[in-house]
Protein backbone atom coordinates (compact mmCIF):
# COMPACT_ATOMS: atom_id res chain seq x y z
CA UNK A 1 0.00 0.00 0.00
CA UNK A 2 2.04 2.93 -1.31
CA UNK A 3 0.77 6.44 -0.74
CA UNK A 4 2.09 10.00 -1.15
CA UNK A 5 1.20 12.89 1.12
CA UNK A 6 -0.44 15.79 -0.72
CA UNK A 7 0.85 19.24 0.23
CA UNK A 8 -2.46 21.02 0.70
CA UNK A 9 -1.09 24.56 0.35
CA UNK A 10 0.38 23.69 -3.06
CA UNK A 11 -2.63 21.68 -4.24
CA UNK A 12 -4.93 23.14 -6.88
CA UNK A 13 -7.85 21.74 -4.85
CA UNK A 14 -6.82 23.53 -1.65
CA UNK A 15 -9.92 25.74 -1.49
CA UNK A 16 -12.26 22.95 -2.57
CA UNK A 17 -10.86 20.58 0.04
CA UNK A 18 -10.92 23.14 2.84
CA UNK A 19 -14.50 24.09 1.97
CA UNK A 20 -16.15 20.71 1.50
CA UNK A 21 -14.23 18.82 4.17
CA UNK A 22 -16.00 20.93 6.81
CA UNK A 23 -19.44 19.70 5.68
CA UNK A 24 -21.40 17.19 7.77
CA UNK A 25 -22.12 15.45 4.46
CA UNK A 26 -19.31 16.16 1.98
CA UNK A 27 -20.40 13.43 -0.44
CA UNK A 28 -22.32 14.10 -3.64
CA UNK A 29 -23.80 11.50 -5.95
CA UNK A 30 -25.11 10.96 -9.45
CA UNK A 31 -26.79 8.06 -11.21
CA UNK A 32 -26.12 7.28 -14.86
CA UNK A 33 -27.15 4.62 -17.34
CA UNK A 34 -24.41 2.42 -18.80
CA UNK A 35 -24.69 0.37 -22.00
CA UNK A 36 -23.75 -3.22 -21.17
CA UNK A 37 -24.72 -4.88 -24.46
CA UNK A 38 -21.17 -5.72 -25.60
CA UNK A 39 -19.88 -6.46 -22.11
CA UNK A 40 -22.69 -8.88 -21.25
CA UNK A 41 -22.22 -10.77 -24.52
CA UNK A 42 -18.46 -11.09 -23.96
CA UNK A 43 -18.85 -12.14 -20.34
CA UNK A 44 -21.30 -14.88 -21.28
CA UNK A 45 -19.19 -16.01 -24.22
CA UNK A 46 -16.19 -16.43 -21.93
CA UNK A 47 -18.34 -18.04 -19.20
CA UNK A 48 -17.31 -15.29 -16.81
CA UNK A 49 -19.46 -13.88 -14.03
CA UNK A 50 -20.98 -10.67 -15.40
CA UNK A 51 -20.63 -9.12 -11.94
CA UNK A 52 -16.87 -9.76 -11.89
CA UNK A 53 -16.60 -8.65 -15.52
CA UNK A 54 -18.02 -5.20 -14.88
CA UNK A 55 -16.52 -4.90 -11.38
CA UNK A 56 -13.04 -5.36 -12.81
CA UNK A 57 -13.63 -2.70 -15.47
CA UNK A 58 -15.06 -0.24 -12.96
CA UNK A 59 -12.00 -0.69 -10.77
CA UNK A 60 -9.70 -0.42 -13.79
CA UNK A 61 -11.37 2.85 -14.79
CA UNK A 62 -11.11 4.28 -11.26
CA UNK A 63 -7.40 3.47 -11.10
CA UNK A 64 -6.88 5.61 -14.21
CA UNK A 65 -8.27 8.73 -12.50
CA UNK A 66 -6.06 10.41 -9.91
CA UNK A 67 -8.92 12.01 -7.98
CA UNK A 68 -10.47 8.61 -7.31
CA UNK A 69 -7.23 7.62 -5.56
CA UNK A 70 -7.16 10.45 -2.99
CA UNK A 71 -8.02 9.55 0.60
CA UNK A 72 -8.17 11.53 3.84
CA UNK A 73 -6.30 10.13 6.85
CA UNK A 74 -6.14 12.14 10.09
CA UNK A 75 -7.08 15.34 8.25
CA UNK A 76 -4.28 14.83 5.72
CA UNK A 77 -4.79 13.96 2.05
CA UNK A 78 -2.86 11.08 0.49
CA UNK A 79 -2.63 9.87 -3.08
CA UNK A 80 -2.54 6.06 -3.28
CA UNK A 81 -0.76 4.29 -6.12
CA UNK A 82 -3.48 1.67 -6.34
CA UNK A 83 -7.10 1.48 -5.27
CA UNK A 84 -8.71 -1.88 -4.52
CA UNK A 85 -12.28 -3.13 -4.32
CA UNK A 86 -14.48 -3.59 -1.28
CA UNK A 87 -17.68 -5.10 -2.73
CA UNK A 88 -20.68 -6.37 -0.80
CA UNK A 89 -21.27 -10.07 -1.43
CA UNK A 90 -24.75 -11.60 -1.20
CA UNK A 91 -25.43 -14.90 0.52
CA UNK A 92 -28.04 -17.61 -0.10
CA UNK A 93 -29.91 -16.51 3.07
CA UNK A 94 -30.31 -13.00 1.59
CA UNK A 95 -27.82 -11.36 3.94
CA UNK A 96 -24.50 -9.99 2.75
CA UNK A 97 -20.94 -9.55 3.89
CA UNK A 98 -18.29 -6.97 3.14
CA UNK A 99 -15.20 -8.11 1.27
CA UNK A 100 -11.81 -6.96 0.04
CA UNK A 101 -10.32 -7.79 -3.37
CA UNK A 102 -6.95 -6.50 -4.55
CA UNK A 103 -6.78 -4.80 -7.93
CA UNK A 104 -4.60 -6.67 -10.39
CA UNK A 105 -3.76 -5.60 -13.93
CA UNK A 106 -4.11 -9.26 -14.85
CA UNK A 107 -7.86 -9.74 -15.10
CA UNK A 108 -7.72 -13.51 -14.71
CA UNK A 109 -5.68 -13.19 -11.52
CA UNK A 110 -8.16 -10.59 -10.22
CA UNK A 111 -11.07 -12.89 -11.02
CA UNK A 112 -9.45 -15.92 -9.38
CA UNK A 113 -8.76 -13.91 -6.22
CA UNK A 114 -12.30 -12.51 -6.23
CA UNK A 115 -13.85 -15.97 -6.53
CA UNK A 116 -11.91 -17.13 -3.46
CA UNK A 117 -13.03 -14.07 -1.51
CA UNK A 118 -16.66 -14.52 -2.58
CA UNK A 119 -16.61 -18.17 -1.48
CA UNK A 120 -15.19 -17.19 1.92
CA UNK A 121 -17.85 -14.52 2.45
CA UNK A 122 -20.70 -16.78 1.34
CA UNK A 123 -19.57 -19.48 3.75
CA UNK A 124 -19.43 -17.03 6.64
CA UNK A 125 -22.17 -15.39 8.69
CA UNK A 126 -20.10 -12.37 9.69
CA UNK A 127 -20.61 -8.90 8.25
CA UNK A 128 -16.81 -8.55 8.12
CA UNK A 129 -15.52 -12.07 7.39
CA UNK A 130 -12.27 -11.06 5.72
CA UNK A 131 -9.78 -8.23 5.81
CA UNK A 132 -9.90 -5.40 8.30
CA UNK A 133 -11.42 -2.13 7.15
CA UNK A 134 -9.15 -0.45 4.59
CA UNK A 135 -9.12 3.05 3.19
CA UNK A 136 -7.48 2.49 -0.21
CA UNK A 137 -10.69 0.99 -1.59
CA UNK A 138 -13.86 1.84 -3.43
CA UNK A 139 -17.01 0.58 -1.76
CA UNK A 140 -18.94 -1.35 -4.40
CA UNK A 141 -22.43 -2.78 -4.14
CA UNK A 142 -24.85 -4.44 -6.55
CA UNK A 143 -28.64 -4.21 -6.46
CA UNK A 144 -29.59 -6.56 -9.30
CA UNK A 145 -33.24 -6.48 -8.22
CA UNK A 146 -33.72 -2.73 -8.82
CA UNK A 147 -33.58 -0.49 -11.88
CA UNK A 148 -32.95 2.53 -9.68
CA UNK A 149 -32.76 6.15 -10.83
CA UNK A 150 -31.18 7.53 -7.66
CA UNK A 151 -29.32 6.22 -4.64
CA UNK A 152 -28.39 7.23 -1.10
CA UNK A 153 -26.13 5.46 1.38
CA UNK A 154 -26.20 4.82 5.11
CA UNK A 155 -23.55 7.12 6.55
CA UNK A 156 -21.92 7.55 9.94
CA UNK A 157 -20.96 11.22 9.94
CA UNK A 158 -18.64 10.69 12.92
CA UNK A 159 -16.50 8.35 10.82
CA UNK A 160 -14.03 10.22 8.57
CA UNK A 161 -15.00 8.48 5.34
CA UNK A 162 -13.47 9.51 2.01
CA UNK A 163 -13.90 6.32 -0.07
CA UNK A 164 -16.03 6.60 -3.22
CA UNK A 165 -19.12 4.41 -3.37
CA UNK A 166 -20.26 2.84 -6.64
CA UNK A 167 -23.48 0.84 -6.93
CA UNK A 168 -24.78 -1.19 -9.86
CA UNK A 169 -28.45 -1.79 -10.63
CA UNK A 170 -30.57 -4.30 -12.49
CA UNK A 171 -29.67 -5.30 -16.03
CA UNK A 172 -32.46 -4.13 -18.34
CA UNK A 173 -33.00 -5.26 -21.95
CA UNK A 174 -34.89 -3.04 -24.42
CA UNK A 175 -34.75 -3.65 -28.18
CA UNK A 176 -31.68 -5.91 -27.83
CA UNK A 177 -29.83 -3.22 -25.88
CA UNK A 178 -28.78 -4.04 -22.33
CA UNK A 179 -28.37 -1.19 -19.86
CA UNK A 180 -27.64 -0.86 -16.16
CA UNK A 181 -27.98 2.00 -13.69
CA UNK A 182 -24.74 2.98 -11.96
CA UNK A 183 -24.59 5.29 -8.96
CA UNK A 184 -21.35 7.10 -8.08
CA UNK A 185 -20.88 8.94 -4.77
CA UNK A 186 -17.65 10.75 -3.92
CA UNK A 187 -16.21 13.22 -1.40
CA UNK A 188 -16.53 16.66 -2.98
CA UNK A 189 -13.29 17.84 -1.40
CA UNK A 190 -11.46 15.26 -3.52
CA UNK A 191 -13.67 14.71 -6.55
CA UNK A 192 -15.82 16.94 -8.77
CA UNK A 193 -18.47 16.14 -11.35
CA UNK A 194 -15.78 16.41 -14.03
CA UNK A 195 -13.90 13.48 -12.53
CA UNK A 196 -17.08 11.42 -12.23
CA UNK A 197 -17.66 12.15 -15.91
CA UNK A 198 -14.15 10.86 -16.67
CA UNK A 199 -14.90 7.69 -14.74
CA UNK A 200 -18.16 7.09 -16.58
CA UNK A 201 -16.51 7.61 -19.98
CA UNK A 202 -13.60 5.29 -19.15
CA UNK A 203 -15.89 2.65 -17.66
CA UNK A 204 -18.14 2.71 -20.73
CA UNK A 205 -15.14 2.50 -23.08
CA UNK A 206 -13.78 -0.53 -21.20
CA UNK A 207 -17.17 -2.24 -21.33
CA UNK A 208 -17.34 -1.62 -25.08
CA UNK A 209 -13.90 -3.12 -25.86
Residues 204, 180: Cα–Cα separation, whole Å: 11
| Domains in the chain, number | 1
Residue-wise pLDDT for 91-115, tens only, equals: 999 999 999 999 999 999 999 999 9
Domain range for 188: 3-208
Residues 10, 32: Cα–Cα separation, whole Å: 33
Tens place of pLDDT per residue across the chain (209 aa):
799 999 999 999 999 999 999 999 999 999 999 999 999 999 999 999 999 999 999 999 999 999 999 999 999 999 999 999 999 999 999 999 999 999 999 999 999 999 999 999 999 998 886 666 689 999 999 999 999 999 999 988 888 899 999 999 999 999 999 999 999 999 999 999 999 999 999 999 999 99
Residues 56, 93: Cα–Cα separation, whole Å: 26
Q: The domain spanning residue 92 has which CATH number?
A: 3.30.559.10
Q: What is the pTM of this model?
A: 0.95
Amino acid sequence: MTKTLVTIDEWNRKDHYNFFSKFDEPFFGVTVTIDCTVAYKKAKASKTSFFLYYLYRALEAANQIENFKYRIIDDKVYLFDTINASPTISRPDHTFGFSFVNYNEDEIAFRDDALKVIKKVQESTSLFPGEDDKINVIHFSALPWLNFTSMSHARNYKYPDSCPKISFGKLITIDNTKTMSVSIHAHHGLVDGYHVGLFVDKFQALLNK
